[in-house]
Amino acid sequence: MSALDEIRAEKLRKLKLLEAAGKNPYPNNARRTHEIGQILGGFNVLETEGGSIVADGRIRSIRTHGGSSFIDIDDGTGKMQLFLKKDEVGEEAFSLFIDTIDIGDFVEATGVPMRTKSGQESLLVSDWRILSKTLRPIPDEWYGFSDEDERFRRRYLDMLLNKEVLENAKKRSVFWNAFRTYLLSREFVEVETPVLENTTGGAEARPFVTHHNALNIDVYLRISAGELWQKMLLVGGLPKTFEIGRIFRNEGMSREHLQDYTQLEFYQAYSDYEEGMRMVTDMYRFVAQETFGTLEFTIGEHQVDLAKDWEVYDFCEVIQKEYGIDPLTVTLEEVKAALKKAGIEKDAESMSIGRGVDLLWKRIRKGISGPGFLIGVPVYLEPLAKRSEKNGEVVERFQIILAGSEMGKGFSELNNPIDQKDRFLAQQALRDAGDDEAQMADMDFVEALEYGMPPSFGFGLSERLFSFLMNKDVRETQLFPLMRPRD
């Protein structure tokens, strides 16, 4: 029998003792009158009043000395000490506690607030009952919990043992709700768009494919938070929309990338990317302050201050300066030569000018701390953005650059149905040639544009921003990242 089996057998024995004593190890209800946070926050008043209260929580430690036991319990709002005395609860109840209760069990205690001789705020227990008997020990009681894969597989234990993980979960909620608050205060309408699609749109990514049994068709899990759908809502007369939702991309995993994650996208009619840059700057500062209480961050080797003036980087100028090629006139052979010189090894047979130029940019990006906006991107790199009126070979798009990575993208939305159709067909040609990340041609969206969409600004960001501001691996900041099944 393994050590774990022995511990579990002992816990089952204690469970039987509770049942033999007429106690239900898993009662249906709790009778808590106060959360622990409330007790600690109003302790002086409760102590003065002297009335009996009821507290619930998971046992985190037990220290027994003769006829007294000091127990720390935690209910998620705080941790407090229970003072269990044989003289107060009676010998039978005291002995049952000592014989059957372990660290990790959930208990309920009735008693009065009091301070111990050392001044510790406590609850002098007059009665107790079991709320949930655990059958497995909290890991650090017997073997530790340092393996990263196991931490991610059993995140609930990671949260119990590492308060930082618990706080991260709370902070993540604050982060997304700060965006929601910002947009709702500006009269944006929160919407929900389809997760299952006949045609993926709104990004360049490899989708997941699944089968819809009722319709007997294959469908795709969406790769954007409803970009094309939200723009159809602009056609329909909703001038400001946003969605915070899950998206899915069947691509590689890294410190920055996962296959399923949360993304925000919003769209505003009668606006453009210049107005969008001002709005996004203000929004990022608001969210950072609400979530972290600061605008200054250390992210890897980068120091980032969101309060300073954001820089502007011109895509073509940056590429020309670094590699000596002009993205607007470059040939495929020149792109391949620049990739080779830069030491970027990719499959030359399936390489396109757009894919190659983008790879060259990503090499430069790693050294830029930001905050800043990347602008002046060639039309062939962005099928959904409006052409610049100053230079029709580039689009009115910006990407937010922070700590060497892209932390959001926005543009003046393309509302010319003829131009949109041509760009979709160009992307479809790339797909037909083997580029499975190129965008699919969505002619239903083109049809919607033919009914008229006002000039608009759109923007999207993923939870990568949260992980970067936390200075953590993106898997670390997800509650339950996808893991390969155990063998």
Q: What pLDDT is stored for residue 41 in this prediction?
A: 96
Regarding whether 383 and 437 lie in a shared domain, the answer is yes
Q: For residue 398, give the nearest of 414, 416, 385 by alpha carbon.
A: 385
Please identify which residue in the block is written with the tokens 């109840």.
93
Regarding whether 304 and 264 lie in a shared domain, the answer is yes
Does residue 10 sit in helix, strand or coil?
helix
Regarding whether 45 and 139 lie in a shared domain, the answer is yes
Return phi, psi of residue 119, to 5°.
Answer: 90, 5
- Tell how strand 302-305 and strand 260-269 pair up: unpaired
Phi-psi category of residue 57: left, alpha or beta, with phi > 0 → left and psi -120 to 50 → alpha: left
Regarding whether 418 and 385 lie in a shared domain, the answer is yes
pLDDT digits (tens, 9 = 90+) for 428-459: 888 888 777 777 788 999 999 999 999 999 99
Residue 425 lies inside a defined structural domain of this protein: yes
Residue 301 lies inside a defined structural domain of this protein: yes
Residue 486 lies inside a defined structural domain of this protein: no
The torsion defined by the Cα of 230, 271, 369 and 179, in degrees rounded to 10, comes to -50
Regarding whether 140 and 13 lie in a shared domain, the answer is yes
Regarding whether 139 and 225 lie in a shared domain, the answer is no
Cα distance between residue 332 and residue 349, in whole Å: 11
Q: What is the mean pLDDT of residues 51-57?
A: 96
Q: What CATH number corresponds to the domain at position 448?
A: 3.30.930.10
Look at residues 120, 144, 168 and tell me which one is the last residue of a structural domain. 144
Regarding whether 109 and 168 lie in a shared domain, the answer is no
Q: Give the list of residues 6+ apart from residue 60 with CB closer than 8 angstroms, or none.
A: 72, 73, 74, 79, 103
Residue type, 450: E
Alpha helices, DSSP H, located in 85-162: 86-89, 91-100, 148-153, 155-161
Specify which residues 103 forms β-bridges with: none
Q: What is the mean pLDDT of residues 34-44?
A: 96
- Residue 151: pLDDT band with limits 50, 70, 90: confident
Q: What pLDDT is stored for residue 144 in this prediction?
A: 56
How many domains in the chain?
2
Q: 84: domain range?
A: 3-144
Q: What pLDDT is stored for residue 1 in this prediction?
A: 77
Q: What pLDDT is stored for residue 29 in this prediction?
A: 95
Regarding whether 81 and 196 lie in a shared domain, the answer is no
Regarding whether 247 and 224 lie in a shared domain, the answer is yes
- Residue 348: pLDDT band with limits 50, 70, 90: low
